[in-house]
Amino acid sequence: MPHVNVGGERIFYAHHNIVERSGPHLILVHGAGGNHMLWGSTVRNLRTANVYALDLPGHGRSKGSGRRSIIEYARFVLRFMDACGISQAVVAGHSMGGATAMQAALLCPDRVSGLVLVGTGARLRVLPAILEGTLSDLAGTVELICETAYAPSAPREIVRQGQRQMLQVAPQTIHDDFAACDAFDAMERLADIRCPALVICGTEDRLTPSKYSAFLAGRIPRAELVLIEDAGHMVITEKPGLLARAIEDALARW
C-alpha cells in the first residue's frame, strides 16, 4: 500500500491497477470522518479502472491536518493527482467526498473527466447537535450519526465497524469536516459541471435523502440517477456490489 507526499503531508492510498492500463483513472474520496476502507474491496478493486482510494489528510493512515472547507479538500485532491502523475481522472465521492468531487470539477473541468456522486447533495446542511457534539461528546455523536447513516436492515456489525472507524479520527477533524459540509453550497453552479456524472443514492438514505440526488441529476447537464434499494447513506458499505456494477456500467458508457 503506497504513500505519496502532497504538499509536505504523507498521504496514504490504496492503488489497484487493471491489466490493460488504458482504462480510466478513478479516484475515490471518502466522506466526513471516514477513510478509504469504507469504499469496500469490491469498489476499490474494479476490473475496468485504475483505482486510487485515498485517505484525506488527518484521516485513516494519512498524516497532516484535515481541511476546513470543501474547496480546500478539492484543491487537495487535485494536488494528490499531481503527486501521482495523473493528468485527468474520474472522481468519485461519498457525502462530503461528493461535494469535494463536484468542487474539483468546477475548479478544473479539464482534469475531471467524470463524476460519481454517492449519497451527497448540492447543499449538505448539518444538524447543530452534530456540529456541537463532535467536540463535546464524540462517542455519543458518532453513535447518533451511524444509527442514522445506515438502513434499518443493515447488519449491526457493519454499523459498529463504521463507529469504530470514525472514532479513530481526531474530534477536531471530524468537527471541521461537518462544518465544511454545512457551509457547502453549489446549488447555483451545478449547470456549470460539463463532465458526465453518475448520481447514486440509497432509497433508505436519511442523511442525504434521494430528493437531494434527484436534484443533482436534474441540474447537472450530463447526469444520470441510480437508486439502490434497501440501502442507507452508507450505501458504499451496505451494497458495494451494486455500487461497483453501477460505476463500471457508467465508465463503459463514458
Is the torsion defined by CA of 220, 190, 34, 90 positive or negative?
positive
What is the reported pLDDT for 17?
Answer: 83
**Is residue 81 over pLDDT 80?**
yes
pLDDT digits (tens, 9 = 90+) for 17-63: 875 557 799 999 999 999 999 998 999 999 889 999 999 999 999 99
Q: What is the distance between the alpha carbons of residues 32 and 196, in angstroms, rounded to a whole number?
A: 24
What is the reported pLDDT for 7?
Answer: 95
What is the reported pLDDT for 220?
Answer: 98
The CATH number corresponding to 3-253 among 3.20.20.150, 3.40.50.10490, 3.40.109.10, 3.40.50.1820 equals 3.40.50.1820
pLDDT digits (tens, 9 = 90+) for 211-232: 999 999 999 999 999 999 999 9
Surface-to-core class of residue 227, CB atoms within 10 Å of its CB (0-12 exposed, 13-18 middle, 19+ buried): middle
What is the reported pLDDT for 18?
Answer: 73
What is the reported pLDDT for 23?
Answer: 79
pLDDT digits (tens, 9 = 90+) for 136-193: 999 999 999 999 999 999 999 999 999 999 999 999 999 999 999 999 999 999 999 9
What is the reported pLDDT for 158?
Answer: 95
How much of the chain, in percent, has pLDDT values that exceed 70? Answer: 98
> Which residues touch 167 (CB under 8 Å, ≥6 apart)?
138, 139, 142
Yes or no: say if 174 and 126 are a contact pair by the CB < 8 Å rule: no
**Is residue 117 over pLDDT 60?**
yes
Instruction: Give the number of other CB atoms < 10 A from CB of residue 158.
Output: 15
Surface-to-core class of residue 172, CB atoms within 10 Å of its CB (0-12 exposed, 13-18 middle, 19+ buried): middle
CB neighbour burial string for 120-140, b if at least 16 within 10 angstroms, e if fewer: bbbbbebeeebeebbeeebee
DSSP for 131-185, please give it: HHHHHH-HHHHHHHHHHHHS-TTS-HHHHHHHHHHHTTS-HHHHHHHHHHHHH-B
What is the reported pLDDT for 26?
Answer: 97
How much of the chain, in percent, has pLDDT values that exceed 90? Answer: 95
251's grid cell: 465508465
What is the reported pLDDT for 1?
Answer: 65
Stretch 181-210: mean pLDDT, rounded? 98
* Average pLDDT value over all residues in the chain: 96
Write the DSSP symbol of residue 68. Answer: S
